[in-house]
């Protein structure tokens, strides 16, 4: 897809803050044979950003020239998220460039239907190639991906460019869901028994400890002595 936007040459004045108040975005164009301060229409540039990626080729119209450019860096306002500044890069048409290309996931993995969880571990890969071969995005279909399976950078289908990201780098994977440990709810009013501990005398719900043979004999002897004294 083709994208185009117009820009004007700017000087030291007005300053960037004044440009923003006037609805313009200050920027810089640099690269093969060019280094120029520029200004773009803020509304037009915001609309352009809704359609392009970092690896989209953008035709910049400047001083009657049409230059192929890529967005190199964008600065946003922390509060409003409006664009504050943009860097555009113009590479030599016959020399390869190194650029990050976004990865887009398509389809519904069969592993998701089985209860798995989708993990997107990388949404950009780095490639090297001439500007006419740089893709806007790389799409991967995950429909056949099952639980425990993954797609790596080396699995991507690329044409005309060289993959610079490590081939073993994982792009997406389907993992099994974590099993939650079930803990039994405590019975209201019940206390856990301590192994080997004697029950507390008088405690609610605790049975009285049985008397030992020595304790039973000790209780009988006083009663026997009382009977013998009465006979005398």
| CB contact burial 74-113 (16+ within 10 A = b; e otherwise) | beeeeeeeebbebebbbbeeeebbebebbbebeeebbbbe
Please tell me the pTM assigned to this model: 0.71
Structure tokens at 137: 């995005």
pLDDT band for 170, please (50, 70, 90 cuts). very high
CA-wise closest residue to 69 among 91, 97, 100, 99: 91
List, in order, residues 6 or more apart from 120 with CB less than 8 Å away.
105, 171, 172
- Rg of the chain over all Cα atoms, to the nearest angstrom: 39
pLDDT tens profile 21-63: 999 999 999 999 999 999 999 999 999 999 999 999 999 999 9
Burial class of residue 145 in the structure, from the number of CB atoms within 10 Å of its CB (0-12 exposed, 13-18 middle, 19+ buried): buried
Residues 165, 1: Cα–Cα separation, whole Å: 25
Q: Domains along the chain?
A: 3-93 (2.40.240.10), 98-175 (2.170.120.20)
Mean pLDDT score across all residues of the chain: 85
Give the model's pLDDT for residue 194.
47
pLDDT tens profile 54-76: 999 999 999 999 999 999 999 99
Instruction: Report the residue count for the chain.
Output: 232
- Structure-token match 């409006």, residue found: 82
Structure tokens at 158: 């690329």
Lowest mean pLDDT among 110-119, 171-180, 182-191: 182-191
pLDDT at 12 over 70: yes
């Amino acid at each position: 897809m083709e994208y185009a936007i117009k820009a004007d040459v700017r000087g030291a004045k007005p300053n960037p803050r004044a440009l923003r108040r006037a609805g313009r975005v200050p920027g810089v164009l640099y690269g093969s044979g060019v280094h120029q301060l520029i200004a773009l229409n803020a509304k037009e540039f915001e609309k352009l950003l809704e359609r392009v990626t970092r690896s989209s080729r953008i035709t910049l119209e400047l001083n009657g020239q049409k230059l192929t450019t890529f967005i190199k860096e964008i600065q946003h306002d922390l509060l409003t998220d409006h664009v504050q500044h943009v860097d555009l890069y113009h590479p030599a048409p016959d020399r390869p460039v190194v650029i990050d290309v976004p990865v887009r996931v398509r389809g519904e993995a069969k592993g998701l239907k089985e209860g798995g969880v989708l993990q997107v571990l990388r949404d950009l890969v780095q490639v090297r190639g001439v500007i006419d071969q740089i893709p806007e995005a790389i799409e991967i279909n995950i429909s056949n991906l099952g639980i425990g399976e993954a797609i790596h950078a080396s699995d991507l289908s690329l044409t005309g460019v060289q993959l610079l990201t490590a081939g073993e780098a994982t792009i997406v994977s389907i993992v099994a869901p974590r099993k939650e440990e079930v803990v039994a709810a405590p019975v209201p009013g019940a206390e856990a028994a301590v192994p080997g501990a004697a029950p507390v005398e008088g405690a609610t719900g605790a049975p009285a400890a049985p008397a030992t043979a020595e304790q039973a004999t000790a209780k009988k002897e006083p009663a026997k002595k009382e009977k013998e004294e009465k006979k005398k």
